[in-house]
Amino acid sequence: MIDAYFHLCLEEADPLTDLQLRLRQANLDGAIVVETWAGEERSFLERLSDERVRVIWCWRGSPASPALSVLDREHTLGLRFRTADLPHAKPVLERIASQGKVALVHAEAGIGPLVEQVERVIAVHPRLRVYVPHLGWPAREGKADPAWPAAVRRLVALPRVTFGVSAACAFTAEPFPHADVRDLALTAIQVFDPSRLVAATNYPHLDRARFADYWTLAVNWILSIHSAWRHPDDVFA
């Protein structure tokens, strides 16, 4: 299995060595490493050599964005987009769809506006694979997002959307194992086919000493609904 949403920890002397250590701690086969918007880890991602690790780069709609040629790199899985950028990224999305890569989307304005844009994008690019992480952001600014339940149902209706069970500690008011988030997670997990679910941690934005615990937490939430689930090896093939 893989951690399907991982950031490099720049507080470590060697973030790539730290990545390998964390994977061993949780007995994981690999990871999807997502570039942050600040881009400070780009120099490390540029020299990745581990075939078990794939990268999603940020698209910023500016010269700071990676050129489209980044999609041809061996380790590149896809690009990360803000909701606001999706209407302006048609050529990039066409390239991603044609190459079978992934568009990872970010709900900076909430899950409702994001789903509206994802529906429009998929209508134009029906082959596009979209990854919605972090439980679809069930809360905003510490409060439950009333748009979330309906948004999840709309995502389920889009068969090329993968849903990530991750970032539990970002939406909780309770200590680990975050029982308040568990109920939200199970609401989404039970309506998605297991082949469209992935588990992740959002490392290092958690108690880093509990990395393996957070991985196990996400997996166990999925298994409590889909007892035969295993991280689908081909969901991001």
Contacts of 203 by beta carbon, 8 Å cutoff, 6+ apart = 3, 6, 7, 9, 22, 211, 214
Q: How far apart are CA 39 and CA 58, in angstroms?
A: 8
Residue extents of the structural domains in the chain? 2-223
What architecture is the 2-223 domain classified under in CATH? Alpha-Beta Barrel (3.20)
Q: What is the pLDDT along the chain (237 residues), one digit of tens a residue?
A: 899 999 999 999 999 999 999 999 999 999 999 999 999 999 999 988 888 999 999 998 865 566 677 888 889 999 999 999 999 999 999 999 999 999 999 999 999 999 999 999 999 999 999 999 999 999 988 889 999 999 999 999 999 999 999 999 999 999 999 999 999 999 999 999 999 999 999 999 999 999 999 999 999 999 999 999 987 666 776
What is d(CA 38, CA 106) in angstroms, rounded to the nearest whole number?
14
